[in-house]
């Protein structure tokens, strides 16, 4: 707010959360009473002379006093505090410190799970695509997330029990803030596409263990992507049969190729019984792996 006053965009430099002090970088990060309560509830060490520190000095102190593992938590907390502040300023959504802490813990837990899953997948060479039962079609989805552009590309490949492509698509999503939202959007778009081309019994497969776990959980999701998860569950109920399945990265190569092919595109594209050459190659490799030696 102080910077906006200096640039003559606003007239009041007060913090939108506490309404008692000027909001500069230090206040927005760690001096605001609201933010300090969040930091303390998360159990981080805290400097005694915090009110005399510049932001860079405080961040260096935090990194020095905490482990490398906790550095990721510190960065996640800084981002989440600023994200919550912007929700209040731009959307009128006011969160309590408890809600912010729960959001941070859930987000970091999902981030850690996603990172761990990717590490494990890289050494699981036996993971491969498995065709669905005879009466089902399999919908593989994958999301390519571009952080610098805050957008994602959904890749969708739908195949029958012989591995033949029924439909394929990539879809571009703007204003996507994190990889979890990108993966959840991919699920929703995969379900919608499968419904549009007339699939009745489907298995939707993705390589995000966190997302698949949320979709299988019958309880209400309370994370930052709860709206997307709820939408996906609602669409899934419109099929005669719909199952959600997790696969390793090697078992999702066609959808990955589909998402990658859309990274330079400017609009969505859909195919029926066809796909870009890179996707056809990946699908052929999947069928080859199904053949006995």
Rg (CA), the chain: 23
Q: Quick one: pLDDT at residue 114?
A: 64
Asked if the model's pLDDT at residue 116 lies above 60, the reply is no
pLDDT band at 288 (very low <50, low <70, confident <90, very high): confident
- Name residues whose C-beta falls within 8 Å of residue 289's C-beta, 6 or more positions apart in sequence: 128, 129
CA distances 25 to 14, 167, 194, 198, Å, are 12, 50, 47, 53
Residue 117 burial (10 A CB sphere; 0-12, 13-18, 19+): middle
Neighbouring-strand partners of residue 203: 138, 243
Q: Quick one: pLDDT at residue 124?
A: 47
Tell me the per-residue pLDDT of 170-225, one tens digit each, with 9 for 90 and over.
999 999 988 889 999 999 999 999 999 999 999 999 999 889 999 999 888 877 78
Query: What is the layout of strands, in order, in the sheet containing 201-206?
Result: 241-246, 201-206, 137-146, 151-159, 165-174, 269-272
Residue 244, H or E segment: strand 241-246
Q: What is the pLDDT averaged over residues 212-240? A: 90
Q: Which of 88-97, 115-124, 240-249 has the highest mean pLDDT?
A: 240-249
Between 29-38, 44-53, 108-117, 136-145, the lowest mean confidence (pLDDT) is in: 108-117
Q: Quick one: pLDDT at residue 235?
A: 97
pLDDT band at 122 (very low <50, low <70, confident <90, very high): very low
CA distances 110 to 73, 151, 225, 259, 291, Å, are 12, 19, 11, 22, 36
Q: What is the pLDDT averaged over residues 121-128? A: 58
Asked if the model's pLDDT at residue 119 lies above 60, the reply is no
Rounded-to-integer distance, Cα 107 and Cα 249, Å: 22
pLDDT band at 123 (very low <50, low <70, confident <90, very high): very low
**265 dihedral zone (left: phi>0; alpha: psi -120 to 50; beta):** beta
Rounded-to-integer distance, Cα 276 and Cα 258, Å: 8
Q: Kindly state the percentage of the chain with pLDDT values over 70.
A: 94
Tell me the per-residue pLDDT of 267-283, one tens digit each, with 9 for 90 and over.
999 999 999 999 999 99
Domains and CATH numbers, the chain: 2-121 (no CATH), 137-290 (3.30.420.10)
**Strands, E, within 151-239: which ranges?**
151-159, 165-174, 201-206
Rounded to the nearest integer, the mean pLDDT of the chain is 89
- Name residues whose C-beta falls within 8 Å of residue 143's C-beta, 6 or more positions apart in sequence: 152, 153, 154, 155, 179, 182, 183, 185, 186, 259
Q: Which of 200-204, 247-251, 288-292 has the highest mean pLDDT?
A: 200-204
Q: Quick one: pLDDT at residue 35?
A: 92
Rounded-to-integer distance, Cα 129 and Cα 252, Å: 7
Q: Kindly state the percentage of the chain with pLDDT values over 90.
A: 58
Neighbours of 54 (CB within 10 A): 11
Q: Is residue 228 a contact partner of residue 189, using CB atoms and an 8 Å limit? A: no
Q: Quick one: pLDDT at residue 148?
A: 80
Residue 13, helix vs strand vs coil:
coil
Going by their DSSP bridges, the two strands 165-174 and 151-159 should be labelled as antiparallel
């Amino acid at each position: 707010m102080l910077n906006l006053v200096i640039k003559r965009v606003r007239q009041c430099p007060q913090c939108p959360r506490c309404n008692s002090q000027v909001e500069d970088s230090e206040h927005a990060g760690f001096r605001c009473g609201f933010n300090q309560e969040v930091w303390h509830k998360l159990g981080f060490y805290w400097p005694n002379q915090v009110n005399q520190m510049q932001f860079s000095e405080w961040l260096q102190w935090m990194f020095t006093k905490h482990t490398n593992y906790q550095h990721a938590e510190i960065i996640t907390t800084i981002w989440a505090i600023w994200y919550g502040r912007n929700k209040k300023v731009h959307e009128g959504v006011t969160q309590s410190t408890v809600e912010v802490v729960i959001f941070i813990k859930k987000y970091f837990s999902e981030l850690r799970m996603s990172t761990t899953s990717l590490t494990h997948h890289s050494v699981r060479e036996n993971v491969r695509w498995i065709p669905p039962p005879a009466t089902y079609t399999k919908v593989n989805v994958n999301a390519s997330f571009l952080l610098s552009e805050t957008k994602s590309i959904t890749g969708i490949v739908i195949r029958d029990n012989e591995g033949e492509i029924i439909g394929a698509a990539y879809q571009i999503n703007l204003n996507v803030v994190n990889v979890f939202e990108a993966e959840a959007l991919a699920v929703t778009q995969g379900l919608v596409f499968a419904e549009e081309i007339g699939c009745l019994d489907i298995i939707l497969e993705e390589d995000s263990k966190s997302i698949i776990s949320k979709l299988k959980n019958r309880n209400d999701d309370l994370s930052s992507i709860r709206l997307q998860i709820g939408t996906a569950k609602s669409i899934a109920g419109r099929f005669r049969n719909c199952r959600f399945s997790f696969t390793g990265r090697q078992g999702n190569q066609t959808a990955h190729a589909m998402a990658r092919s859309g990274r330079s595109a400017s609009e969505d594209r859909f195919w029926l019984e066809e796909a870009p050459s890179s996707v056809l190659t990946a699908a052929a490799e999947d069928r080859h792996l199904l053949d006995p030696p």
